[in-house]
Amino acid sequence: MISIEGLSKIFTSNNSKTTAVENLDLRIEEGDIFGVIGYSGAGKSTFVRLLNRLEEPSGGRITINNEDITAMTTSQLRIARQDIGMIFQHFNLLWSRTVEDNIAFPLEIAGLSKAKRQRRVQELIDLVGLSGKEKAYPSQLSGGQKQRVGIARALANKPKVLLCDEATSALDPETTNAILDLLVDINKQLGLTIILITHEMHVIRKICKHVAVMEKGKVVEQGEVMDVFLHPRQDVTKKFVSQVMGSGEEDEDMESITEAYTEGRILRLHFIGETTNQSLISQLSKNYDVDINILQGKITQTQAGAYGNLIVQVAGAELQEVLKFIEEKASVEMEVIQHAK
Ligand SMILES: Nc1ncnc2c1ncn2[C@@H]1O[C@H](COP(=O)(O)OP(=O)(O)OP(=O)(O)O)[C@@H](O)[C@H]1O
């Protein structure tokens, strides 16, 4: 477990002070994939760099598995850092070393024998899917492959925690998804705790279990990803959620929908969690004498299941039975938008 209490960082330069992180408290459970999201300047990078003391805190305490990182001497910290891997937006690879030599680098520093290094490097290359690229140089790799090298290198000493500083921000959407899938695999296979900072809600939605939203150096909202998606409280959180789900402005179309579809009833179905897997729509149209017309909607997948809204038109002889079934039996929330004339 990672516990952060009253963490602060104040940068002082030329008589000016910037509070990058202010009195921040967080608890991150072992094995979690914990996302920290915020706009540029919110203090995310500083926060993540404080965790392994790449930045020295101005105040507060960080403990990782009951070890007080903030109280460590430089030599204690050097050993503790072997348990904290880190990957970066621009990969930070050694350009004059091959893939295998980049991955071997932290093992050399840790003093492993050549034979042990070679064995471990091969395991890591297999783990991150880089077989065949052992002898390539970073300049010969795609962005996604470079980040795979970064991940393998970060995992070389079998850390318990992996810090990801905007690790997918330099990648295209498809490569981002592949790297995020790899992080989920690693989290499952190795039980590693992942702390990931990003300005993209898509990243949080896809792989995180918990999220903290940062603004002006503070955590302004936090919780399970699904809860934060469903009930964003702060304006900044609402903006991030709208990156994935739209702003809700699409509801302005409701008027044209209700004018165009006058038969039966128009329903807004709100799916939360695994309920989307119930195949509600096909169940209804198979079991009842109704026609169901999907008019609008957005369903998205999170680590805790799928959620979102569907706007449907239901018409036919057994309309009332369908409304009763959804209300009483299905675990979706239903709102009848319009009683058609
Ligand atoms: N070394 C530094 N010296 C002075 N000020 C700094 C330093 N590093 C960061 N800051 C300031 O601290 C604040 C937080 O910066 P930080 O880089 O942590 O934000 P961020 O949320 O990661 O944003 P970005 O994604 O743009 O990097 C900013 O106002 C920044 O200018």
Per-residue pLDDT tens over the stretch 174-193: 999 999 999 999 999 999 99
Q: Classify each residue of 294-329 as buried b or exposed e, where b means 16 or more C-beta atoms within 10 Å of its C-beta.
A: ebeeeeeebbbebbbbbbbbbbeeebeebbebbeee
Q: How confident is the model at residue 300 (pLDDT cuts 50, 70, 90)?
A: confident
**Can you give the residue ranges of every domain in the chain?**
2-245, 250-339
The CA-to-CA distance between both ends of the chain, in Å, stands at 59
Q: Report the relative pairing of strands 333-339 and 265-271 from DSSP bridges.
A: antiparallel
CA 217 to ligand 1 centroid distance, Å: 9
Residue 339 backbone phi and psi in degrees, to 5: -90, 105
Minimal-distance CA residue to ligand 1 atom 17 = 45
For residue 256, the model assigns a pLDDT of 81
What the block records as the tokens of 149 is 């090298």
CA 51 to ligand 1 centroid distance, Å: 15
What the block records as the tokens of 8 is 């602060």
- CATH code for the part of the protein at 2-245: 3.40.50.300
Per-residue pLDDT tens over the stretch 221-280: 999 998 888 888 999 999 998 888 776 555 557 778 888 888 899 998 887 765 555 678
CATH T-level fold of 250-339: Alpha-Beta Plaits (3.30.70)
Does the beta carbon of 237 sit less than 6 angstroms from any atom of ligand 1? no
CA 45 to ligand 1 centroid distance, Å: 7
Q: Ligand 1 test: best mutation among 7, 44, 88, 214, most atoms within 8 Å of CB?
A: 44
Same CATH fold assignment for domains 2-245 and 250-339:
no
Does the beta carbon of 20 sit less than 6 angstroms from any atom of ligand 1? yes
